[in-house]
Structure 1
Amino acid sequence: MRALVINCTLKPSPQPSNTEALADTVISALKSHSVEVDIVRAVDLHIRPGVETDMGEGDEWPAVHEKVLSSEILIIASPTWLGRPSSIAQRVLERLDAMLSETDDQQRPVAYNRVAGVLVTGNEDGAHHVISEISGALGDIGFTIPGQAWTYWHLGPGAGPDYLDDDRGHDWAASTGRAMTSNLVHAARALAENPLPAPPS
């Protein structure tokens, strides 16, 4: 089984990423379930705006799209900015939107029989809003969202320290991340054994 984690931090490599630091705890949990994990830091790529799988010359999204299709589990990891997902997360969701019109050889939307979860960091309130926005979009595209397939860390409301600067709440976020991982893995295995059929015409 494979998982893809798309880190939607605004910080390009090699800058430290709070979102990456929390994602690392979930990645470790995935590996403990014998899941192979790919990681993409979307801000490092030239991902053109649009809602098609390939937006032309120089667009680096098609390679990410292939990673999505080769994975049973997708995790979108985003910081909270102004109470909302990052602009990078929004662009990733817009590019995933193209999958609505893509089908497999059984005429099922290509996101069917794949599961997705959400991870959020931020030093302000709004994590549940970000989780809801991203989960809702992924569900629209066709991903299955298991119960409690999320984890987050923040010390809101209001401004405060970052995940890498403060140890408070780390144990809770890691524990929630392990539960998220277990739910994702078991849901993915259930779908592999009993896949969703094509929608009725």
Structure 2
Amino acid sequence: MRAVVLNCTLKPSPQPSNTDALAGVVVEALEGHGVEVTTIRLADHDIPPGVESDLGGTDEWPAVRRAVLDAEILVVATPTWVGHPSSIAQRMLERMDAMISETDDDGRPVAYNRVAGVVVTGNEDGAHHVISEIAGGLVDIGFTIPPQAWTYWNRGPGPGPEYSSTDEGHEWSRSTGRAMAQNLVGVARALAAAPLGPPAS
């Protein structure tokens, strides 16, 4: 089984990413379940705005899309900025919009029979709102969202330290991340055994 983590931090490599640090907990847990995990930091790639799967030219989204569709599990990891997902996360959803009308050989939307979860970091509150925005978009695109398929860390209302600069609240975020990985794998295995068919007409 394979998983792809799309890190939607605004920081290109090799800058340290708090979002990557928390996503690493989920990656480690997934690997503990025998899942092969690939992490892609979208800020490192040329992904122009649009709602098509391939905009041509230097567009690197087609390779990201292929990685997502070659996996059974998708994890979207994003920081919180002004109470919302990062602009890169929003762009990712916009580029995935094309998947809604793309079908596989059996007539199913291409995202069907894949599960997805969300990782959120931020030193202010708003994580549940961000999780809802990302998860809602992924459901529209065709992904299955298992129960408690998320983890987050934030310090609470008001500015404060970042995830990597404090140990505050880490154990809760880690245990929730491990539960998230377990649920993603469980539902992915269930869908592999009994896949969804094409939508009823």
Alignment TM class, shorter chain as reference: over 0.9
Q: Deviations over 1:117-160 (max 9, x none)?
A: 00000000100000000000000000000011000000021111
- Residue segments in structure 2 that go unaligned for 5+ positions in a row: none
Could you list the runs of 4 or more consecutive aligned residues of structure 1 that deviate by over 4 angstroms after TM superposition? none
Is 1:30 matched up with 2:30? yes
CA–CA distance in structure 2, aligned partners of residues 23 and 119 of structure 1: 6
Is 1:94 matched up with 2:94? yes
Residue number in structure 2 paired with 1:132: 132
The 5 Å alignment of 1:20-169 reads 20-169=20-169
Q: Deviations over 1:149-190 (max 9, x none)?
A: 000000021111000000011110000000000000000000
Shift of 1:78: 0.2
Give the structure-1-normalised TM-score.
0.99
Q: Deviations over 1:85-127 (max 9, x none)?
A: 0000000111111100110110000111000000000000100
Identity of aligned residues (%): 69
CA–CA distance in structure 2, aligned partners of residues 158 and 106 of structure 1: 50
Residue number in structure 2 paired with 1:19: 19
Shift of 1:192: 0.3
SS in 2 for 1:76: strand
CA–CA distance in structure 1, aligned partners of residues 81 and 158 of structure 2: 12
SS in 2 for 1:88: helix
Matched pairs, number: 201
CA–CA distance in structure 2, aligned partners of residues 58 and 142 of structure 1: 27
CA–CA distance in structure 2, aligned partners of residues 111 and 70 of structure 1: 10
CA–CA distance in structure 2, aligned partners of residues 55 and 173 of structure 1: 37
CA–CA distance in structure 1, aligned partners of residues 199 and 93 of structure 2: 22
CA–CA distance in structure 2, aligned partners of residues 51 and 147 of structure 1: 29
Residue number in structure 2 paired with 1:175: 175
Give the structure-2-normalised TM-score.
0.99
Q: Deviations over 1:42-67 (max 9, x none)?
A: 01100010010001100000000000
CA–CA distance in structure 2, aligned partners of residues 132 and 2 of structure 1: 24
